[in-house]
């Protein structure tokens, strides 16, 4: 089992931006914990972050992973390109958010990618990634 953890726009700022919302750990810290979790479960993992919508689409198109765990950041709320990239591949994608997007501003309540994702996990901080990974490993 190979899992791709894909992070979109501004997720590289995790640990440095809006700490009360996203915590103080960097994306690298979080990825290290996820890597340890995957290793314990005998799963391979790959990590990729980009602020560029097209790069995320290409990564989805070219991935050889069995499952993709995607935090698209703000692209979640308006990127039809990302939605179509997810729909264009057979690989199951789980949408994740560290914050509870439904308890925040109105514009975050809408996701244009949910419809083409296997499911959504939102509001559990870094554990949103772990819970999504767990669902592939059950
Ligand atoms: C986020 C929520 C999005 O609304 C926001 O734009 C992000 C991060 C989250 O992980 O909670 O950048 O996806």
| Distance in angstroms (rounded) separating the CA atoms of residues 135 and 104 | 25
Q: Cα(99) to centroid of ligand 1, in Å?
A: 7
Q: What is the best residue among 101, 113, 117 to mutate for testing ligand 1's pocket, by most ligand atoms within 8 Å of CB?
A: 101
Q: CATH number of the domain at 2-137, please?
A: 3.40.50.9100
Q: What is the best residue among 71, 75, 110 to mutate for testing ligand 1's pocket, by most ligand atoms within 8 Å of CB?
A: 71
Ligand 1 neighbourhood includes 71 CB (under 6 angstroms): yes
| Distance in angstroms (rounded) separating the CA atoms of residues 1 and 26 | 26
| Distance in angstroms (rounded) separating the CA atoms of residues 47 and 5 | 5
85 or 138: which leads in pLDDT: 85
Cβ atoms of 50 and 8 within 8 Å: the answer is yes
Q: Has this prediction a pTM greater than 0.85?
A: yes
pLDDT computed for residue 27 by the predictor = 98
Cβ atoms of 121 and 128 within 8 Å: the answer is yes
Whose alpha carbon is nearest atom 6 of ligand 1? Answer: 74
pLDDT computed for residue 5 by the predictor = 98
pLDDT computed for residue 40 by the predictor = 97
Ligand 1 neighbourhood includes 74 CB (under 6 angstroms): yes
């Amino acid at each position: 089992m190979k899992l791709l953890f894909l992070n979109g726009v501004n997720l590289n700022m995790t640990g440095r931006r809006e700490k009360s919302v996203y915590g103080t750990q960097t994306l690298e810290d979080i990825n290290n914990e996820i890597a340890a979790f995957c290793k314990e479960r005998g799963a391979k993992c790959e990590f990729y972050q980009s602020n560029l919508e097209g790069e995320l689409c290409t990564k989805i198109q070219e991935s050889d992973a069995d499952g993709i765990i995607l935090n698209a950041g703000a692209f979640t709320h308006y990127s039809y390109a990302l939605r179509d990239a997810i729909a264009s591949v057979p690989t199951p994608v789980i949408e994740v958010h560290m914050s509870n997007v439904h308890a925040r501003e109105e514009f975050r309540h809408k996701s244009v990618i949910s419809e083409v994702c296997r499911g959504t996990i939102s509001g559990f901080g870094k554990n949103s990634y772990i819970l999504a990974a767990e669902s592939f490993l059950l």
